[in-house]
Amino acid sequence: MTDYLDAVIVEHNPSQKKIDRAVIWLHGLGASGHDFEPVVPQLGLSDDMAVRFIFPHAPKRAVTVNGGMVMPAWYDILEMSLERKIDVAQIEASSKQIKDLVRREIEQGVAPEHIVIAGFSQGGAVAYHVALGYPERLAGLMTLSTYLATNDSIDYSTANKDMPILIEHGSHDPVVPIILGEQAKQLLSDKGYDVTYHTYPMAHQVCMPQIQNIGQWLNSILA
């Protein structure tokens, strides 16, 4: 029996039709699944769609760069250098837990091509690992204020070679410098992926114009 991550579930338009779209959205370091819960009503999603949002809670673990403090974390960060030395085994373990959530959605009747993988900051690094290596075609990948941490260990899936990717970053981000978002965009573009890249005059956060843009993107790829 699969031991699924606890998660916050928010459903858009559940009374209109059967839920047949899903977005699995991962929070950042030290946060929780409640972090992006308030965003759903602000996205302006189409009334023609019924979408389940799954916001999983990361397990609690010691984080080296925070003095070994135990907090919700998808993986340990060993160094805050620009290269971001991380615990790759933990990111792979977290990725497996997210893939279990994808499989649960499929079992509930949501086709994989109608499932979006999304993540903010540390959650975005896991989202990259999950979606780029997933063996079935997904609806899309959305990464916010994050970095591609595991390029060398991802088994890139040909099934998702044409998957739309949205990368968004704050131009004044002091936590994950914007150059890391640019590097991810360039690397994936060079590999032939369909990458849309936006920046906003903000720090390590989200803003309303960005939320509205995310909603438009979701309306487009989930239509």
- Report the distance separating Cα 218 and Cα 223, nearest Å: 8
Among the options 94, 95, 121, 145, which is catalytic? 121
Please confirm, yes or no, whether 171 is among the known catalytic residues: no
The length of the chain in residues reads: 223
Sheet holding 7-12, edge to edge: 7-12, 51-56, 21-26, 115-120, 140-144, 164-170, 194-200
> What is the C-alpha separation between 221 and 35, in angstroms, rounded?
23
The one catalytic residue in 35, 76, 87, 173 is 173
Amino acid at 195: V
d(CA 167, CA 212): 14
Confirm whether 189 is a catalytic residue: no
Residue 173 is a catalytic residue: yes
> What residues are labeled active site?
121, 173, 204
